[in-house]
Structure 1
Amino acid sequence: MPIRMRFTIWRPLATAAAAALMATLLTPATAQAAPRVSEPRYSYDDAIREAVWVDTGLDGDADGRTDRVAVDIVRPRETARQGRKIPVIMDASPYYACCGRGNESQRKTYDADGEVVRMPLFYDNYFVPRGYAFVGVDLAGTNRSDGCVDVGGRSDVQSAKAVVDWLNGRAKAYTTRTGTTRARATGWTDGRTGMIGKSYDGTIANGVAATGVEGLETVVPIGAISSWYDYYFSQGAPLYDSGPEWLSNYVESPEARARCGAVQQRLVDGAPRTGDWTPLWSERNHVPDADRVEASVFVIHGMQDLNVRAKHFGQWWDALARNGVDRKIWLTQAGHVDPFDFRRAEWVDTLHRWFDHELLGYDNGIDDEPMADIERKPEQWATSAVWPPRGTERTTLRPAEGTEEGVGRLGPTRGTGTETFTDDPALDETDWAARIDRPTPDKAGFTTGPLTRDLRLSGSSKVTVTATPTTATAHLSAVLVDLGPDTVRDYAAPGEGITTLTERTCWGASTTGDSACFKETAARTTDVEYTIVSRGWADLGNHRSGREGVPLTPGTPYTITLDLAATDHVVPAGHRLALIVAGTDRGLIEPPSTRPALTLDLARTSARLPLVGGADAFRAATSGTAAAPGGAVLDGVREPRTAQRVPEAS
Structure 2
Amino acid sequence: MPMPTRRTRGARLPYRTLVAATTAALLATLVTPAVAQPEPSGPSVTAAPAAPSTASVRESRPVHSFADAIRESVWVDTGLDGDGDGRADRVAVDIVRPRETAAAGRKIPVIMDASPYYACCGRGNEGQKKTYDADGNPVQFPLFYDNFFVPRGYAFAAVDLAGTNRSDGCDDVGGRSDVQSAKAVVDWLNGRARGYTSRTGDTRARATTWTTGNVGMIGKSWDGTVANGVAATGVEGLKTIVPIGAISSWYDYFHSQGAPLYNANPSWLSEYVNGPEAQARCGAVQDRVAAGTPYSGDWTTAWTERDHVRNAGKVRASVFVVHGQQDLNVRAGQFGRWWDALAAHGVERKIWLSQTGHVDPFDFRRADWVRTLHRWFDHYLLGHDNGIDREPVADIERAPDRWTTDRHWPPRTTAATTLRPAPGAEAGPGVLGRAPAVPGSTVTFTDDPALGELDWAARIDSATPEKAGFVTRPLSRELRISGSSKVTVTATPTTATAHLSAVLVDLGPDTIRDYGAPGEGITTLADRSCWGASTLGDSACFKETEARTADVGYTVVSRGWADLGTWADPGKERPLTPGRAYTMTLDLASTDHVVPAGHRLALIVGGTDKDLLDPPSTIPTLTLDLARTWAKVPLVGGAPAFARATSGPHPAVPSPTALPSLSGAEPPAAVVGPRLPGAGAAR
TM-score range, shorter chain: over 0.9
1:350 is aligned, of 372, 395, 405, to: 372
Deviation, 1:639, is: 3.6
TM-score (norm 2): 0.89
- Is the 1:492–1:638 contact (alpha carbons within 8 Å) kept by the matching residues of 2? no
1:199 is aligned, of 214, 221, 234, to: 221
Q: Deviations over 1:575-624 (max 9, x none)?
A: 00000000000100111111100000000000000000000100011011
2:79 is aligned, of 57, 67, 91, to: 57
What is the CA–CA distance in structure 1 between the aligned matches of 2:464 and 2:184, rounded to whole Å? 56
SS class of match (1:65)? coil
Q: Deviations over 1:330-364 (max 9, x none)?
A: 00000000000000000000000000000001111
The match for 1:295 is: 317
Alignment of 1:11-22 (within 5 A): none
The match for 1:24 is: none
Q: Deviations over 1:374-399 (max 9, x none)?
A: 00000000000010001100000000
Taking a change above 3 Å as real, the CA distance of residues 348 and 324 of structure 1, as seen in their structure-2 partners, is: same
Q: Which runs of 5+ in 2 are unaligned?
A: 1-54
The match for 1:638 is: 663
Higher mean displacement: 515-524 or 628-637:
628-637
- Higher RCO by CA contacts (8 Å cutoff, separation 6 or greater): 2
SS class of match (1:399)? strand
The match for 1:139 is: 161
2:603 is aligned, of 560, 564, 579, to: 579
Pair 1:514-2:545 in alignment: no
Aligned AA (1:203): T
Deviation, 1:246, is: 1.0
Taking a change above 3 Å as real, the CA distance of residues 591 and 647 of structure 1, as seen in their structure-2 partners, is: farther
The match for 2:584 is: 560
Aligned AA (2:287): Q
Deviation, 1:645, is: 6.6
Deviation, 1:635, is: 4.0
What is the CA–CA distance in structure 2 between the aligned matches of 1:35 and 1:566, rounded to whole Å? 35
- Is the 1:477–1:584 contact (alpha carbons within 8 Å) kept by the matching residues of 2? yes
What is the CA–CA distance in structure 2 between the aligned matches of 1:234 and 1:647, rounded to whole Å? 20
Q: Deviations over 1:81-109 (max 9, x none)?
A: 00000000000000000000000000000
What is the CA–CA distance in structure 2 between the aligned matches of 1:250 and 1:524, rounded to whole Å? 30
Pair 1:523-2:547 in alignment: yes
- Is the 2:508–2:655 contact (alpha carbons within 8 Å) kept by the matching residues of 1? no
2:636 is aligned, of 594, 609, 612, to: 612
SS class of match (2:146)? helix
1:120 is aligned, of 105, 123, 142, to: 142
The match for 2:280 is: 258
Deviation, 1:441, is: 0.4
SS class of match (1:99)? coil
SS class of match (1:432)? helix
Q: Deviations over 1:406-455 (max 9, x none)?
A: 32000111113100000000001000000000100000000000001110
The match for 2:270 is: 248
What is the CA–CA distance in structure 1 between the aligned matches of 2:181 and 2:663, rounded to whole Å? 40
What is the CA–CA distance in structure 2 between the aligned matches of 1:114 and 1:634, rounded to whole Å? 54
What is the CA–CA distance in structure 2 between the aligned matches of 1:631 and 1:460, rounded to whole Å? 27
Alignment of 1:215-254 (within 5 A): 215-254=237-276
Alignment of 1:169-568 (within 5 A): 169-416=191-438, 417-568=441-592
The match for 1:569 is: 593
The match for 2:34 is: none
The match for 1:596 is: 620
SS class of match (1:300)? strand
What is the CA–CA distance in structure 2 between the aligned matches of 1:585 and 1:404, rounded to whole Å? 24
- Is the 2:458–2:656 contact (alpha carbons within 8 Å) kept by the matching residues of 1? no
Deviation, 1:138, is: 0.1
What is the CA–CA distance in structure 1 between the aligned matches of 2:462 and 2:499, rounded to whole Å? 23
What is the CA–CA distance in structure 2 between the aligned matches of 1:175 and 1:632, rounded to whole Å? 62
- Is the 1:88–1:134 contact (alpha carbons within 8 Å) kept by the matching residues of 2? yes
What is the CA–CA distance in structure 1 between the aligned matches of 2:639 and 2:295, rounded to whole Å? 40
Pair 1:104-2:126 in alignment: yes
Aligned AA (2:555): T
SS class of match (1:335)? coil
Aligned AA (2:443): E
Pair 1:41-2:63 in alignment: yes
What is the CA–CA distance in structure 1 between the aligned matches of 2:521 and 2:606, rounded to whole Å? 27
Deviation, 1:156, is: 0.4
What is the CA–CA distance in structure 2 between the aligned matches of 1:254 and 1:404, rounded to whole Å? 61
What is the CA–CA distance in structure 1 between the aligned matches of 2:124 and 2:284, rounded to whole Å? 32
What is the CA–CA distance in structure 2 between the aligned matches of 1:482 and 1:306, rounded to whole Å? 18
Taking a change above 3 Å as real, the CA distance of residues 181 and 358 of structure 1, as seen in their structure-2 partners, is: same
TM-score (norm 1): 0.94
The match for 2:16 is: none
SS class of match (2:204)? coil
Q: Deviations over 1:106-142 (max 9, x none)?
A: 0000001111100000000000000000000000000
What is the CA–CA distance in structure 2 between the aligned matches of 1:34 and 1:290, rounded to whole Å? 35
1:629 is aligned, of 639, 653, 656, to: 653
What is the CA–CA distance in structure 2 between the aligned matches of 1:170 and 1:157, rounded to whole Å? 16
Q: Which runs of 5+ in 1 are unaligned?
A: 1-32
Pair 1:95-2:117 in alignment: yes
Deviation, 1:37, is: 1.1
Aligned AA (2:547): A
Deviation, 1:487, is: 0.2
- The list of structure 1 runs, each at least 4 consecutive aligned residues, that deviate by more than 6 angstroms after superposition, is 640-643
The match for 1:68 is: 90
- Is the 1:307–1:644 contact (alpha carbons within 8 Å) kept by the matching residues of 2? no
What is the CA–CA distance in structure 2 between the aligned matches of 1:355 and 1:639, rounded to whole Å? 42
SS class of match (1:277)? coil
What is the CA–CA distance in structure 2 between the aligned matches of 1:645 and 1:588, rounded to whole Å? 17
What is the CA–CA distance in structure 1 between the aligned matches of 2:583 and 2:138, rounded to whole Å? 56
Deviation, 1:627, is: 1.4
Deviation, 1:630, is: 3.0
Q: CA RMSD in A?
A: 1.2
1:83 is aligned, of 105, 118, 140, to: 105
What is the CA–CA distance in structure 2 between the aligned matches of 1:151 and 1:403, rounded to whole Å? 50
Counting aligned pairs with the same residue, the percent is 73
The match for 1:14 is: none
The match for 1:26 is: none
Pair 1:158-2:189 in alignment: no
Deviation, 1:250, is: 1.1
Q: How many residues align?
A: 618
What is the CA–CA distance in structure 1 between the aligned matches of 2:654 and 2:622, rounded to whole Å? 33
SS class of match (2:205)? coil
Aligned AA (2:204): R
What is the CA–CA distance in structure 1 between the aligned matches of 2:196 and 2:156, rounded to whole Å? 18
- Is the 1:462–1:562 contact (alpha carbons within 8 Å) kept by the matching residues of 2? yes
- Is the 2:457–2:656 contact (alpha carbons within 8 Å) kept by the matching residues of 1? no
What is the CA–CA distance in structure 2 between the aligned matches of 1:63 and 1:354, rounded to whole Å? 42
The match for 2:52 is: none
What is the CA–CA distance in structure 1 between the aligned matches of 2:659 and 2:652, rounded to whole Å? 18
What is the CA–CA distance in structure 2 between the aligned matches of 1:51 and 1:215, rounded to whole Å? 21
Q: Deviations over 1:290-348 (max 9, x none)?
A: 00000000000000000000000000000000000000000000000000000000000
